[in-house]
Chains A and B, each alone.
Chain A
C-alpha cells in the first residue's frame, strides 16, 4: 500500500471529502493540517501554490477534486460504470460552480471583505442555494430516490454534498428544508458507520 499524506488547512471545505474517503475505506493516511504561518513556507513547494495536495509515496497531486476522484477510484467510491462516474463528476462540477457563486457571501461570513451580509445572503446566497439544490433534488429523484446521487451505492459526490450541507447549516438557517431527497442522502451518508465515527471524532473547525 502506498504511503498517503493529505495536506490541507485546519478546516473541512475542500479537504474534507478526501479525509472521509480515507476513513470510509479504512486506509491509513497522514492528516496534515497546515497553519497560516506554515503555509508561507510551504506554498512555494506545492505544484499550484494551493492546498489541498495529496502525496502518494511522496509524489504530489494538487486540486481537491482530482484528489477526491483519484482516491474514490482507488477505494471504490467513484461509481460502478463509466457513465455513473461521469455523472458523479458532473454533479461535483455543478457544486463547484455553486461554490464560485457563493464565494463573496462565504468570504464575508468567514470575516474577509466588506459588505452587507443580509443583503448578500438575499441577493447571492439564497438564489445560489436554491439553484444548486433544485438540480441536486432532481438528480436524486432521477436516480431512483435511493439515498444516493449516482447509482446504488455511496460515491464521493454523496460525501461532498453531505459535508457541505453541514457547513451551510452553520451560516444559513434550514437551507435544505425544501429538498427532502437531498436530506435523505445527507442522512444516509452521515450515518454510515465509518463516516459517522470520523464525524464524531474529527476536530471542530471554523470552516
Chain B
C-alpha cells in the first residue's frame, strides 16, 4: 500500500471529502494540517501554489477534485460503469460551479458586513438555481440515498460535507430538497464515519497526525 499524506489547512474546505474517503475505505493516511504561519513557506513547495495537495509515496498531486477522484477510483467510490463514473464527475463539477457562485457569500459570511444582503443577492439565487438540478438527479437515480447507482460515490460524500458546512451558515437551506438531504443523511450516518465525525473537532492541531481507524 502506498503512503498517503494529505496536506490542507485546519478546516473542512476542499479536503474533507478526501479525508472521508480514506476513513470510509479504512485506509491509513497522514492528516497534515498547515497553519497560517507555516503557509507562506509551504506554499512554495506546492505544485500550483494552493492546497490541498496529496502525496502518494512522496509524489505530489494538487487540486481537490483530482485528488478526490483519484482516491475514489483507488477505493471503489467512483461508480460501477464508465457512464456512472462520468455522472459522478458531472455532478461534482456542478457542485463546484455552485460553490464558485456561493463564494462571494462565503467571503462576506466569514469577514464581511452585510450578511443578509449577500444571503438574498448571492446565496439564495445560487441555491435555487442548482439544488433543483441536484434534487432531480437524486430522484432520477431512484431517491435511494445516492446520486449515482446504488452505492456510495465521492460525490455523495462531497454534497454531504458541503450541506453540513452551509447549513451552519444558513440553517435549513436545503429543506426543500429531500432526496438530496437523504444523500447527506446516508453519508453522515455511515458507521464507518462515526468515530471520525465524533472526534474531528479535537483534531485542531497543525502538523501531521497518522489517522488509522482500522479495527
- Which residues on A are within 8 Å of B, measured CB to CB? 47-49, 56, 59, 61-63, 65-67, 69-70, 73-74, 82-83, 85-87, 89-90, 93-94, 100, 135, 138-139
Contacts and interface: CB of A to CB of B under 8 A. Distances in A.
B90 A86 contact: no
Interface stretch (B28-36, B64-72, B115-123): B64-72
Interface string B74-115: 100000001101110110011000001000000000000000
A67 B86 contact: yes
19 contacts: A47-B137, A48-B133, A56-B83, A61-B83, A61-B86, A66-B87, A66-B93, A67-B90, A69-B86, A74-B82, A85-B70, A86-B69, A87-B61, A87-B66, A89-B65, A90-B63, A100-B100, A135-B47, A135-B49
Interface residues of B, number: 28
Contact of B63 (A74, A94, A100): A94
B204 interface: no
Given A89-B65, A90-B62, 9 more contacts: A47-B90, A47-B133, A83-B61, A86-B70, A90-B47, A90-B66, A94-B63, A138-B47, A139-B47
B122 to A, nearest CB: 15
Contacts of B215: none
B59 interface: yes
A82 B90 CA distance: 19
Contacts of B62: 90, 94
A61 B133 contact: no
Contacts of A89: 63, 65-66, 69-70
Contacts of B48: 90, 94, 135
Q: Among the interface residues B48, B70, B74, B94, which one has the most CB atoms of the partner chain A within 10 A?
A: B48
Nearest to B133: A48
A62 B67 contact: no
B135 to A, nearest CB: 12
Interface of B: 47-49, 56, 59, 61-63, 65-67, 69-70, 73-74, 82-83, 85-87, 89-90, 93-94, 100, 133, 136-137
A94 B66 CA distance: 10
B94 A63 contact: yes
A86 B93 contact: no
Nearest to A49: B133
Q: Among the interface residues A47, A56, A67, A139, which one has the most CB atoms of the partner chain B within 10 A?
A: A47
Contacts of A100: 100
Contacts of B59: 83
A62 B66 contact: no
A65 B89 contact: yes
Contacts of A48: 90, 94, 133
A93 B61 CA distance: 12
A141 to B, nearest CB: 12
Q: What are the 5 closest A-B residue pairs judged by CB atoms, nearest first? A: A89-B66, A66-B89, A66-B90, A90-B66, A70-B86
Given A48-B94, A90-B63, A83 B56 contact: yes
Contacts of B136: 47
A7 B67 CA distance: 29
A10 B69 CA distance: 31
Nearest to A131: B49
